Amino acid sequence: MKDCEICRGSRVVRLPVYHKVSAEPFDMPAVSEESSRQYPCPECGDQVKLDRVAVLDVHTIMDSRISSEDYIQRGKETAAFRLVDHLLRGNFITFEQGPHDAKELSFPIIASLGVFSKGQVATLEQRIAERQDQVAKAVAQEAKEQISIWGSYYGHAGILKRDARAQIDSALNRVLSSWSKIRALGLSAKT
C-alpha cells in the first residue's frame, strides 16, 4: 500500500477539539479535556465500518436454450424484484409517515434505503487479498525476530527444524491475535 499524503499510511487523522476559554482564577485545579479526536482518513480510510455493510445477492435461474433479449430482460427484472423483496423482509428499508394533507385527504409514506456504490465497498475477496500480504509480512518479521534470538541465552546459534516451525506458529498466533485486537478497537493494522 502506498503511503497516503494525508495520513502517511496510518488511515486515520486527528483533529483538534476546540474548548471554550475559561476566565477562572489560576489557583483552580486544571481539568484535563480531550484535545483531539481520531477520524478515518478522508483519502484512504474506511468510511463505513465493515460490520455495517451487507452485500446481498439474489439469483434467478434462466433457461439457457432461450436467448432472446426480452427473456434476459425478464430475468433481470425478476432478480431485481427478488432483491427488493429481500430488502423488505430483512428490514433494510425504513418507512416513515409524512404529514397529513387535509386539503387532498392524503399523506405520503417515505421509504429510505442506504446504498453504497460498488466502487466504495470491496468484496470479501478484495478485502482478504488486501490484507493477506500485510499479514504474511508481519508473520515473517515476527518469526525472524523470534528465530534470531533463539539460543542466545545458551550461546549456540543453531535451531532445530521442529523449533523453527514452533516459532513460526507462535509468530502467526501473535500477529493474528494482535490484529484481532486492533480490529476490535476499530483501528487499522500496520505492518
CB 138 within 8 A of CB 172: no
Asked if pLDDT for residue 1 goes beyond 60, the answer is no
**pLDDT tens per residue across span 133-179:** 777 888 888 888 877 776 666 556 677 778 778 888 888 888 777 76
Q: Give the per-residue SS3 of 115-131.
A: CCCCCCCCCHHHHHHHH
Does the global pTM surpass 0.85? no
Grid coordinates belonging to 32: 484535563
At residue 181, the pLDDT reads 62
Q: Where are the domains of the chain?
A: 69-112, 124-185
Q: How far apart are CA 12 and CA 22, in angstroms?
A: 30
Q: How far apart are CA 94 and CA 29, in angstroms?
A: 49
| Residue 66 zone, left/alpha/beta (φ > 0; ψ -120 to 50; rest) | beta
pLDDT category at 98 given cuts 50, 70, 90 is confident
